[in-house]
Amino acid sequence: MKNADLSSADVADFESGLKSYKVKLVLYKAPAGDPAVQRLLQIARQEKIPVVRASEAKPANMTHQQWIIDQLDAIDRALASSAF
């Protein structure tokens, strides 16, 4: 979902999910320079919810398989380090 598609109710609902620990992992698309997105990422980190950066485009120096494996490994490490 693009930030432009988010209503204030969507943002409030997501923030509530972060603060009530209904959200177990935040996966965001890089770059996330939008202030609203940065605020939600900050809340997630404050609440000790794992945050993982993902990319839409495969780096030129990687195979498709290695790129996917690296992203899945990052998710696995984040979930393994989570207290939830």
- Other beta carbons less than 10 A from residue 26's beta carbon: 21
Tens of pLDDT along the chain (84 residues) come to 455 667 888 889 999 999 998 999 999 886 667 788 888 999 999 999 999 998 888 989 999 999 999 999 999 999 998 766
| pTM attached to this predicted model | 0.77
- Write out the chain in H/E/C secondary structure: CCHHHCCHHHHHHHHHHHHCCCCCCEEEECCCCCHHHHHHHHHHHHCCCCEEEECCCCCCCCCHHHHHHHHHHHHHHHHHHCCC
Q: Where are the domains of the chain?
A: 3-81
**CATH code assigned to 3-81:** 3.40.50.1980
- CA 61/CA 80 separation, integer angstroms: 28
